[in-house]
Amino acid sequence: MPGADSRDVSAAHPAAPCWFCLRSQPKHEHIAARHVSQLPGVETFLPRIRFRRTRRQGPVWVTEALFPNYLFARFNWQTQVRVVRHAPGVSDVVHFGPRWPTVPDELMNELRACFGETSVHVVGEDFAPGDEVKISGGAFHGLAGVVARVMPARERVAVLLDFLGRQTAVELPVAAVIREGEVRVQSADRQPP
Residue spans of the domains in the chain: they are 9-122, 132-179
Is residue 153 very low, low, confident or very high in pLDDT (cuts 50, 70, 90)?
A: low
> Could you please report the per-residue DSSP string of 75-86?
E-HHHHHHHHHT
Q: Do domains 9-122 and 132-179 have the same CATH topology?
A: no
Question: What CATH class has 132-179?
Answer: mainly beta
pLDDT at 85: 95
Is residue 125 very low, low, confident or very high in pLDDT (cuts 50, 70, 90)?
A: low
Question: What CATH class has 9-122?
Answer: alpha beta
Q: Could you give the percent of the chain with pLDDT greater than 70? A: 81
Residue 138: φ, ψ to 5°? 80, -170
Tell me what the pLDDT averaged over the chain comes to. 82
User: Contact, 74 vs 109, CB < 8 A?
Assistant: no
